Structure 1
Amino acid sequence: MYSLSPAYIIVIITMIASWLIQRRLKSKFERYSQVGLQNNLSGRQIAELMLADHGITDVRVISTPGRLTDHYNPADKTVNLSEAVYEPRSAAAAAVAAHECGHAVQHATAYSALKFRSALVPALSAVSRFMPILLFAGVFLLNRTPYPLIAGVVLFSLTTLFSFVTLPVEFDASKRALAWMDKRRIVTTQEHVMAKDALWWAAMTYVVAALGSLATLFYYATMLMGRRRD
């Protein structure tokens, strides 16, 4: 009787967990997007205010298409806020805008984890071109030679490392955002609870992504070790 390997089961579990958390995040964001801020500031205004309070004058706040596509781009120093965050005046918009500015503050203060993650980006870009091919070829040719899969596993380990390095960067950005919003009294006590909850679920997507990457690495490594034992 055919049975799934433990590594494969772990991969399936992390995929399901990722899907569930993504759904939960969207649900939370939609819910908190309906709660208007008492101060009536838009996401853009909050972002600009946070940047100004930290003495950052060379970062632009711009609108980007899509939903939950918010990000900070260190290359051109832009805080990119999605349409659901840029102009809306909600607890969700405040949380996301401040979080992305938290990355800008990290960049301005040379936060070590962000510097390390940024240093990995060029290598990761190069790896992403060859890794899928090596993994596919490695699995297909495993009975003949282990070397393509070995190379694929080594490259995939870099992707996994990047996923885990991302975690402290994301948690720290949320911590900075919440601390600043409280200090500046951007949010009320109730709004703070909602902002913190939204950012926590957003962080969980990165946690599951990192665990999923580790599970996938474990799956390929187990396949490789199984072949070598044969």
Structure 2
Amino acid sequence: MPFFFFDPTMILLIPAFILAVWAQIKVKSTYNKFKKVAAASGMTGAQVAKQILQRNGIYDVEIEPVAGELTDHYDPRVKKVRLSEYNYRSNSLASIAVAAHEVGHAIQHAQGYAPLKLRHAILPVTNFASYAAFPLFFIGFLFNGGMLMQLGIIFFAAVVLFHVVTLPVEFNASWRALAQLKSTGLLMSTEVTAARKVLTAAALTYVAAAAMALLQLIRLIILANSRD
């Protein structure tokens, strides 16, 4: 997310920047802490994911490993839960928490959870808007092009909408994950508490991203008004 140049409006971004840094530190430290704690069941992230899917009557979702660290995600286009290689094979509480969260998205998809459907529907527009918003605004700002600045703001507002919609999607997936881990007995109560810590830390990154996007939008509006 480019900032163009320093100006007083950048002060608006400082709280979100601090939150983003703290969230990244928090999620890494919490994840690394519970990577070292094995689940009593001995089940891996992949095994737990499969168990939860089957217990919810979902048999058309595949589980596969993907390269990288914390690259875990659910792809609704092809109905695949992709777990980072470590989380796929590890029986740590951190791995199980992440795996259960991604399966939470698969359950959302199977049940037609509206925010997930909306996020998926606006994703193509958001991808385009995220690339076009700042160049349009920057050109308009340099050459006093009010329409270009307004168009850039509209495009970036679509990006903000995506971040806002993402919040209930991610929070709900974590809620579903914890409910499944508890009700199915895949984790003991003390282990569920640890899993909650992992997922809560991860949720902070989405909150930070939404806060940064919203404050950036406010900044663009202020800059545009300053050219009037």
Shared fold (TM-score, shorter chain, > 0.5): yes
What's the counterpart of residue 205 of structure 1? 205
Query: What secondary structure does 2:166 align onto?
Result: helix
The 1:21–1:129 alpha-carbon spacing in structure 2 relative to 1, beyond 3 Å, is: closer
Partner of 1:153: 153
Give the distance between the partners of 1:145 and 1:135, measured in 2 at CA. Answer: 9
Structure 1 residue 138: Cα displacement: 2.5
- Percent sequence identity is 37
Aligned partners of 1:170, 1:19: CA distance in 2, in Å? Answer: 19
For residues 118-176 of structure 1, the C-alpha deviation after alignment (integer angstroms, 9 at most, x for no partner) is: 111121133234223212212322xx322211110010000001100000000000000
For 2:117 and 2:85, the matched residues in 1 are separated by 29
Corresponding letter in the other structure for 2:40: Q
The TM-score with structure 1 as length reference comes to 0.93
CA distance in 2, matches of 1:219, 1:195: 37
How does the TM-score come out when normalised to structure 2?
A: 0.94
2:195 is matched with: 195
Q: Which residue of 1 aligns with 2:138?
A: 136
Is 1:107 the equivalent of 2:116?
no
Q: How does 1:33-182 map to 2 (within 5 A)?
A: 33-141=35-143, 144-182=144-182
Q: Distance in 2 between matches of 1:28 and 1:134?
A: 39
CA contact (8 A) 2:141 2:227 kept: no
Higher deviation after alignment, 179-188 or 119-128: 119-128
- Count of equivalent residues: 223
Contact 2:139 2:145 in 1 (8 A): no
CA distance in 1, matches of 2:131, 2:12: 26
* Gap regions ≥5 residues in structure 2: 1-5
- Which position in structure 2 is the counterpart of 1:184? 184
| Unmatched 5+ stretches in structure 1 | none
Cα distance in 2 between the residues matched to 1:151 and 1:125: 15
In 2, the alpha carbon distance for the partners of 1:218 and 1:29 equals: 33
